[in-house]
Amino acid sequence: MSQSAQPATPVAFPPAFLWGAATSAYQIEGAVREGGRTPSIWDTFSHTPGKTADGDHGDIAVDHYHRYREDVALMAELGLTAYRFSVSWSRVQPTGRGPAVQVGLDFYRRLVDELLAHGIKPAVTLYHWDLPQELEDSGGWPERDTALRFAEYAGIVGEALGDRVEQWITLNEPWCSAFLGYGSGVHAPGRTDPVAALRAAHHLNLAHGLGTSALRSVMPARNQVAISLNSSVVRPLSQSPADLAAARRIDDLANGVFHGPLLHGAYPATLLAATSTVTDWSYVLDGDLRAIRQPLDALGLNYYTPTVVSAVDGAPDGPRADGHGASSFSPWPGADDVAFHQTPGERTEMGWTVDPTGLHELIMRYVQEAPRLPLYITENGAAYEDKVDAGGQVHDPERIAYLHGHLAAVHRAITDGADVRGYYLWSLMDNFEWAYGYAKRFGMVHVDYGTLERTPKSSARWYREVARTGTLPGVPGVPVAPAV
């Protein structure tokens, strides 16, 4: 077990630390044809034969649209103090343009009111991968207009919910939208064009910047605007110059492409050089970098596992082991000569290595790169093969160990000076895991996909205790360390 996996003594988190869980619209809502909602790219993709495991789709998902009251009551029972969810763009602005649909906005208003009534702080993500299909038909994220449409949509939602929601996240994991959606094609819309992937990344950055300004123009100044990045912890296989250069390249494509413009006002020169045979970046227009670099109120980090890379001569043989699904197309433009390696050690059902040291490393990187910016862990969690036992219980000790190790890593980062203000476990309940369909269970609440019955797993009871006490247990019998 790694150094941070098992604190010797119980450790206390700051009193105001938020104990949350996260979900996203397409993964849980269902009700895809209700209230005027139109298809998003994920409706189209998941209904295209061969794109998801067993042809699974989100038509019903876990029916949260109809069961949100029951779900909020469950969150309260589990002692959550915060809940991060996303808004379905196609539900509130079905064509991705023009006036909003009131029924759609009303759903989110009711959800927020229910959360507030239970003392749970809502955090709204505006975009978690479900672009209205009409916008994809007009070119999608590779086209600049999609960023302008996003700003309009952000203003609509900000105006409707800004009086009652203080925490806002513009985009979730834009890396996945750009590089899995338009590069390797394992995510919707399933395109496999490296130039489109890089164009998409830039327009997602622009959407964040314009969306942030739109939100601020309609919301009270007290509200916080952030973005959730799945920044990678990229480790070289060896210290050889070639492996270090490979790690640099992947770091630029995974991280620099977003934090460059968001935090530093420019794309890294090393990224521009390494992708120069793929694209000339001429779609970065005058003023874009200024529009993107909006002062952030906070940053959301989503972390699951580190990435280990090395250099190879030419394209590596066999499938990539980068953990982002099987495709013969790479999500890494201009980096065909980089090999991805499985790291040794325990793995989750996704095949991802359990390594909490990566989370500590990632947080500390942000402390360096964006000093004084409050941080939230907006996703962290693990999929395991959870089963209901004869007594109707779901025991998931591996998930408890995973959470324990990663929360210890967060605590260690706070002790080392990081301003981490909250943790959102991914996920509240089992749900549609994109191309993996319902086969991978990330929830702390089990969902029976036949009856849609919710059963809290033992990890949910464990997490409730952590949230109630604000303390992560250590070795029994050792006194609690003082709050950091």
Contacts to ligand IFM by CB under 6 A:
24, 27, 173, 302, 379, 426, 433, 442
Exposure string over 314-352, b if 16+ CB within 10 A, otherwise e? eebeeebbbbbbebeebbbbbbeebbbeebeebebbbeb
Strand ranges (DSSP E) for 65-164?
Answer: 82-86, 121-127
Quick one: 243 or 433, whose CB is closer to ligand IFM?
A: 433
Nearest distance in Å: CB 433, ligand IFM: 5
The active-site residue out of 114, 136, 143, 173 is 173
Pairing of strands 454-456, 445-447: antiparallel
Q: Are 5 and 402 in contact (CB under 8 A)?
A: no
Nearest distance in Å: CB 394, ligand IFM: 19
Alpha carbons 144 and 151: distance in angstroms, whole number: 12
Please say if 361 is a catalytic residue: no
Quick one: 78 or 171, whose CB is closer to ligand IFM?
A: 171
Q: Are 36 and 103 in contact (CB under 8 A)?
A: yes
Nearest distance in Å: CB 472, ligand IFM: 23
DSSP-derived secondary structure letter, 62: T
The pair of structure tokens assigned to 126 is 């505006």
Quick one: 165 or 180, whose CB is closer to ligand IFM?
A: 180
Alpha carbons 158 and 219: distance in angstroms, whole number: 6
CA angle 330, 332, 334 (to 5 degrees): 105
The active-site residue out of 143, 379, 398, 433 is 379
Please say if 379 is a catalytic residue: yes
Nearest distance in Å: CB 275, ligand IFM: 25
Nearest distance in Å: CB 227, ligand IFM: 14
Nearest distance in Å: CB 463, ligand IFM: 17
Alpha carbons 193 and 205: distance in angstroms, whole number: 19
Quick one: 179 or 442, whose CB is closer to ligand IFM?
A: 442
Quick one: 216 or 454, whose CB is closer to ligand IFM?
A: 454
SS3 393: coil
Quick one: 75 or 101, whose CB is closer to ligand IFM?
A: 75
SS3 331: coil
Q: Are 58 and 40 in contact (CB under 8 A)?
A: no
Active site residue ranges: 173, 379
